[in-house]
Amino acid sequence: MREALCELLQLLSLSCRAFDRAEAFLAAYRPDEFDCLVTDLRMPGMGGLELQQKLRAVGSSIPVIIVTSVMDSGSRSRAMQGGAFAYLTKPVSQEALLRHLAEALGGQ
C-alpha cells in the first residue's frame, strides 16, 4: 500500500517519499522538508502514535494522517488528541484519502 500510494501521488504531480519504518522517517525528517505524513498505526518497531508523539515533542506541526485496520476508539481518540489530522480505517477509498490529504496540504 505504501508504494502504491506514493505512485498515485506522483501521478498527481505531488512529491512523495516512502519509508518502511517510523525510525527511517525520523532519521530523514527535517522541518519544512515534508508537508504531510501518512502513517499506519501498527508498524514494525515504532508505531504511528509514538511517531506522532515524537514529532510533536520536537515542535513539528506536520499534518499526520493515520491509516489503519485498527477500529479502536481508544487509539482513534489518542491519535486525534495528539493532533492527528485524520484517522482513517482500512479499507480507505482513494477518494477519501486524497480528500483528507488535499485538506491537510491546503492548511499549510
pLDDT for 107 = 52
What are the residue boundaries of the structural domains of the chain, listed by start? 19-106
In this predicted model, what pLDDT tens digit does every residue of 9-24 receive, in sequence order?
A: 999 889 999 999 999 9
Give the CATH class of 19-106.
alpha beta
In this predicted model, what pLDDT tens digit does every residue of 63-108 receive, in sequence order?
A: 999 999 988 899 999 999 999 999 999 999 999 999 999 999 995 4
| Cα 101 from chain centroid (whole Å) | 9
